Chain A
């Protein structure tokens, strides 16, 4: 049995408190009116330096244009963006940590459906990570409900004034409306949590009465059923929760793209937590062949993610159709560093670091690559959410960092508390012996 050390508990609580305080400050610092935006921008420009000059020049130019069209349109635009900023960073962090747990849930179901023999020693780690789906899902649901019913301004389609007169949004209103949005979110989350509940329950029951593998067979059946449900709902979830930030834009492989992102983040987290627990003297039945296999998945799915990213990018870049290519133009013009930096973190770094077979067995190599992959995929989520909500007014400020800390603290707290609830070895699993002797 694992016991949660006081240090780790304290650490996670401190993260949550610091994150929460920072986020409150972030919300409090939002400008309330156009005058405040003007003040902020003037103060920013006055700070001077090379950076400031570039900004001033840039703004001067655009002001000229805006002013010609009459007054404060530009400032009002910036005001809305800055008012969105803490909401968007809250959303990005909430979604990122939720997607890790969701990726692990899908990975866990695949282990059962494929009757994998190597992985049962890791099942309790996976089950613990999926425990985050409950609080993470509820928080996300609340944020989605607030956004869908236009309490904040994250989704353009949630604003009746903006939809009115916009042919595309009017056409999509049958799908993109607050009520439908929240009903769908409830179905997605409900289905995933239901599977999570029964999968964990059957896994525990299988430990108690392993004869006949009655519970194992049930796990197999619900896992296969869940995977069918998951791949449809995950795809729709990606349209609803992410792609609808840019409701005029569409991509047919977006669901796969988000899936690759959440899958690789989930597997990486399994590897990181397994290595952490091993370093604390738990999980002595996990050998370096298991770590090697997880690292192979991290390597492979990172390349799969790049393949999908590039497939989406190249077709749109090549055909250069205005309504499609605007998505990438915004990102390349306003988000150059995170957009291309993410490719380095998510593709080139894992490719070079994890290519060598021997390196995949070296724990600190896997940890280093894993941390980079997780940062990269947070930036991926950031790139998907920010351009449509915050636009060119983005910067990594107090609300972004605080939101990540808040959910990181919650994630650590929930996952490691869930680890204490059951023995770390799923001793009733019929493939356990094979898994213990797994050797590559």
Chain B
């Protein structure tokens, strides 16, 4: 059975925010919203759970700090100790202040880069990826809300969406996935 989804297009982010709240208040399920730019507070209005990206960032930072400590300990203490500034103490902790900049930089480096990569993976973005947005205008100046009517009447939903200020409403027959 082919299910239906409704695409409603908006041209203003404030109108879109109000529309999202109204549609959710009527207990319809919003599949996705496509925007040309990030809309502040949209995730909360859509009821999407809070991102856990910050937690991954903290863990990556800890990994970076550990890598820096192990690396500097191997390079400067174990493998090839050097007498720099009269401090050849052969002890990591006594030379620690000199390594703090490296520890800091690698913490930031790991946290930032791995977090960005995680963000791409989580957003299902990778090189040569085919765009998922159903309407090219969402990359320019239109906002698109994809609503699943479920078992409800499609006409009631389209009239509701019309009332919320949508500039265009399309009913799409979604093909059943074969795989």
Contact = CB atoms under 8 A, between A and B. Distances in A.
B86 A357 contact: no
Interface string B133-160: 0000000000000000000000000000
B54 A357 contact: yes
Contact of A319 (B58, B85, B100): B85
Interface string A130-151: 0000000000000000000000
Contacts of A318: 85, 97-98
Interface residues of B, number: 9
A320 interface: yes
Contact of A310 (B86, B87, B100): B100
A355 interface: yes
Contacts of A357: 54
Interface string A344-363: 00000000000101000000
A317 B97 CA distance: 8
Contacts of A314: 97-98, 100-101
A310 B58 CA distance: 22
A355 B107 CA distance: 15
| Interface residue range, chain A | under 10
Contacts of A395: none
Q: Is the interface of A mostly helix, strand, loop or mixed?
A: helix
Contacts, number: 17
A175 interface: no
Contacts of A355: 58
A250 interface: no
Interface of B: 54, 58, 85-87, 97-98, 100-101
Interface in A271-327: 310, 313-314, 317-320
A318 B84 CA distance: 9
Contacts of A317: 97
A217 B21 CA distance: 39
Interface in A352-387: 355, 357
Contacts of A320: 85-87
A355 B101 CA distance: 20
Q: Is the interface of B mostly helix, strand, loop or mixed?
A: helix
Interface of A: 310, 313-314, 317-320, 355, 357
Q: Which 4 A-B pairs have the closest CB atoms?
A: A314-B97, A317-B97, A318-B85, A318-B98
A313 B97 contact: yes
Given A314-B100, A318-B98, 12 more contacts: A310-B97, A310-B100, A313-B97, A314-B98, A314-B101, A317-B97, A318-B85, A319-B85, A320-B86, A320-B87, A355-B58, A357-B54
17 contacts: A310-B97, A310-B100, A313-B97, A314-B97, A314-B98, A314-B100, A314-B101, A317-B97, A318-B85, A318-B97, A318-B98, A319-B85, A320-B85, A320-B86, A320-B87, A355-B58, A357-B54
Contacts of B101: 314
Contacts of A319: 85
B114 to A, nearest CB: 17
Contacts of B100: 310, 314
B71 to A, nearest CB: 19
Nearest to A313: B97
Contacts of B98: 314, 318
Nearest to B61: A355
A317 B54 CA distance: 35
Nearest to A315: B97
Nearest to A355: B58
A317 B101 CA distance: 14
